[in-house]
Structure 1
Amino acid sequence: MKSFFICVFIVVTSLSVTAQDTTGSPAEQGIGPFIGEVAYGDPKAPVEVIEYASLTCHVCGNFAERTFPMLEADYIKTGKVRFVIRHFLLNRVDLAASVIARCGTEDQAQKMVKKFLETQEDWMHAEKPLDAIMAIGKDHGLIPMQMQMCIRNQDLAQKLIDMTKAGAEMYKIRGTPTLVVNGMVAEDKSYAGLKKMIEAALK
């Protein structure tokens, strides 16, 4: 894990070199980045489900496509669950996608995180993954200069690294996705398994 974080810093530096020089930061221009919780549902919901996910994790992508919609319909939209996605970085492409996902507003972050998870096969295996990642950002209202500044923003990258380290230390995470229901790590990540934990927490 330590060697991975060293590699992340190298990647951030290399990405910074490729970006064009611009003036001002996205934050100074009032357009991001968003560094709060990427969350769905009522913030006052009685149950909180946290997913530690990598945007390049195939199992995370399957979860987003198959399990999340059922949780959303039965528990999130009904006000019973607040669902939080936290980044758990695994590789350089994951880092780039996570940075772009956080480059805009809270609403844009919510939509882009879901989009990256649901369309992994399209952008991960593109001839130029970074271009494909930035194309998704553009589709969600980000402008090239804004994304270039986010790629160069090492403070943003550090926050994502810290999020990964905190999850690894707090919940002993060794793989993604890791689901946490009201502080308890879920052993069964299926809809049925999560439903059982959620229903128990609601009692």
Structure 2
Amino acid sequence: MMPHLMKPLAILLISIGALAASSMAAPAKGGWLSTITVTDKGAHIIGNPSAPNKVVEYLSYTCSHCANFELKESPLFKAQFVATGKASLEIRNMLLNPIDLTAAMLARCGGKAKFFGNQKHLFATQSTWLGQTKNISENTQTQLKNQNFAGFMTGVYDEIGLAPIMQQRGITPVQAKKCLADKDALKVILAMTESGAAAGVNGTPTFFVNGELQDHIHSVDDLKSKLK
């Protein structure tokens, strides 16, 4: 994962404020899994906004443990607790490196209705695109050093094979590159990472249940034991 790219990410984390991007929840039809809400901090919530249990997950798209939870544990949690209105699940970003930033920007592409599907697809294909980071060119790395973040992310998108992966989600290269150039989305993602670090998040995935930081959550059973 190219450690020499990680240091310049610190440049991104200076003087970034959160943006208001709230969205009202719609009534659930056939279960709460169709209800997606965007918080005033830009985080995405699936499920009943008034659920008695509010679960927050800080995740990284380059984290293998996050992928494992998303693909193996999250579906069961959503079926048992989110669909029934007993819990909501809020996703927040915790960036680990600049590649992670590129994936996080793409996850938001297409609006809130596509977010959770985009996320699942990025995790399902993680080994494919993450295995291509050796193809990131010197020119693309220079874009990051020069703080041309859109240029850097566009280069990463092209060079590690994220274009065909996002096209499988119905997102064209033109749409994807517009998303990667979205300065407001960039601020939102960086602000979440900054606030997560301030709240004690030092690894991924990290969970909060009803406002309390939890240790050693690796499965649905682990989460279940923390719910009301």
TM-score, with structure 1 as normaliser: 0.77
Q: Any idea what the Cα deviations from partners look like across 1:83-111, whole Å, max 9, x if unmatched?
A: 11111111111111111111211111121
What is the identity, as a one-letter code, of the residue corresponding to 1:104? G
Counterpart Cα distance in 2 of 1:64 and 1:39 = 15
- 1:61 maps to 67
Q: 1:90 and 2:96 equivalent? A: yes
Counterpart Cα distance in 1 of 2:116 and 2:213 = 23
Q: Which residue, 173, 177, 180 being the options, matches 1:151? A: 180
1:89 to 1:164, Cα distance in 2 relative to 1, 3 A: same
Counterpart Cα distance in 1 of 2:69 and 2:163 = 23
How many residues align? The count is: 174
Q: 1:187 and 2:215 equivalent? A: yes
What is the identity, as a one-letter code, of the residue corresponding to 1:172? G
Q: 1:50 and 2:64 equivalent? A: no
Q: How does 1:96-111 map to 2 (within 5 A)?
A: 96-111=102-117
Gaps of 5+ in 2: 1-5, 15-37, 137-155
More helix by percentage: 1
Q: How does 1:133-148 map to 2 (within 5 A)?
A: 133-148=162-177
Q: What is the Cα deviation at residue 70 of structure 1?
A: 1.9
Gaps of 5+ in 1: 10-33
Query: Using CA pairs below 8 Å that are at least 6 residues apart, which structure has the higher relative contact order?
Result: 1
Q: CA RMSD in A?
A: 2.3
Counterpart Cα distance in 1 of 2:86 and 2:121 = 24
Q: How does 1:12-91 map to 2 (within 5 A)?
A: 36-91=42-97
TM-score, with structure 2 as normaliser: 0.69
Q: What is the Cα deviation at residue 135 of structure 1?
A: 2.3
- 2:192 maps to 163
Percent identity of equivalent pairs: 33
Counterpart Cα distance in 1 of 2:206 and 2:187 = 21
User: Is the 2:107–2:119 contact (alpha carbons within 8 Å) kept by the matching residues of 1?
Assistant: yes
